Amino acid sequence: MFLLLGLCWWHLTGVFSEKLSVMEGDSVRLQTKMTKLHEDDNILWTYSKSLIAKISMEKQIFSTFDGPDDRFRGRLKMDKQTGSLTITNIRLEHAGEYGVKITGEKLTKISFGVSVYARLSSPSITRECSSSSQNNCSVVCSVVNVSAVSLSWYKGSSVLSSIIVSDLSISLSLPLEVEYQDRNTYSCVINNTISNQTTHLDINTLCQPCPDEDLHLFNIVWICAAVGSLLILVSAVMCCISKKCRKTVHNCEEDQSDSTLCKEKSRKKKSDMQAVYCNVPKRR
């Protein structure tokens, strides 16, 4: 019994495990550690225990399979020389446990833990007008729809502030206040385990007076100007009209002529009113 077990163990020449981290969209090569396959080698590749590729040297079979939910369709490439398997254009859903079992003269088992990381896009920095104080410029660094990342503000090479999110796919934003005359270098960095992206803060360009406020002020000035001139125009017209009328009434009363006539006449148009004046003295 012991001898048998011993013999089996002797045959089992290797059990290995590897961890791999790859970026979404990249290709990853899972290697068998063999430089050349032997005549009687059999190779089975699995992903989460389901068969995704198979080689039988004896029968000259080299097959790949689409795997669970066809998720490997068109992505698997087998190396007939070494039995290595390449996954092209890898996606987040291809993360997980891969295994290869090679049986021939020897038995070799290798397991691969593959982590796939999303490609990061550069964070964006925007001016925050609502919370600006007089001497400082407020900005916000933000990223949308991210998971398993850190977002940080750097001043030179030291971290000023940082937030970390785990698996959730969410949007993040991180504020920063700088003085207008600040000459330091500020940058916002997003990173996951294997990559990072940086956006530099350009204080001169970004920290201009808030465009919204400007526009608002501009509009208010224009509206005030328009309303003001309209009011002046209206009151000028009113003034003229009332002056004319008062003058007419005044003249009529002075003449001590028939007041009903005056009232009647003064209600009439401008040309008639002038006619009233000219006529009254003549009648006297």
Burial (CB count <10 Å: 0-12, 13-18, 19+), residue 135: exposed
Secondary structure class of 80 (helix, strand, coil): coil
Interacting residues with ligand NAG between 30 and 59 (CB under 6 A): none
Residue selected from 8, 51, 163, 164 as contacting ligand NAG according to rule CB under 6 A: 164
By beta-carbon proximity to ligand NAG, the closer residue of 30 and 120 is 120
**Nearest approach, Cβ of residue 29 and ligand NAG (Å):** 21
| Shortest distance (Å) from residue 186 CB to ligand NAG | 10
Q: Is 72 exposed, middle or buried (0-12, 13-18, 19+ CB in 10 A)?
A: buried
CB of 128 to ligand NAG, least distance (A): 12
Q: How far apart are CA 71 and CA 94, in angstroms?
A: 8
H or E element that contains 179: strand 170-179
Q: Which two tokens stand for residue 21?
A: 């981290």
- Please say which residue, 125 or 189, places its beta carbon nearer to ligand NAG: 189
Footprint (CB under 6 A) of ligand NAG, residues 126-145: 133, 135-136, 145
- Regarding 255 and contact with ligand NAG (CB under 6 A), the answer is no
Distance between CA atoms of 67 and 79, rounded to whole angstroms? 18
Q: Does 121 bind ligand NAG (CB under 6 A)?
A: no
| Residues 96-115 within binding reach of ligand NAG (CB under 6 A) | none
Strand 42-47 to 28-30 pairing: unpaired
* Closest by CA position to 19, among listed 96, 106, 79, 104: 96
Interface residue with ligand NAG among 103, 132, 191, 199 (CB under 6 A) is 191
Nearer to ligand NAG, 157 or 271 (CB): 157
Q: Which residues form the interface with ligand NAG (CB under 6 A)? A: 133, 135-136, 145, 148-150, 164, 169, 177-179, 189, 191-193, 196
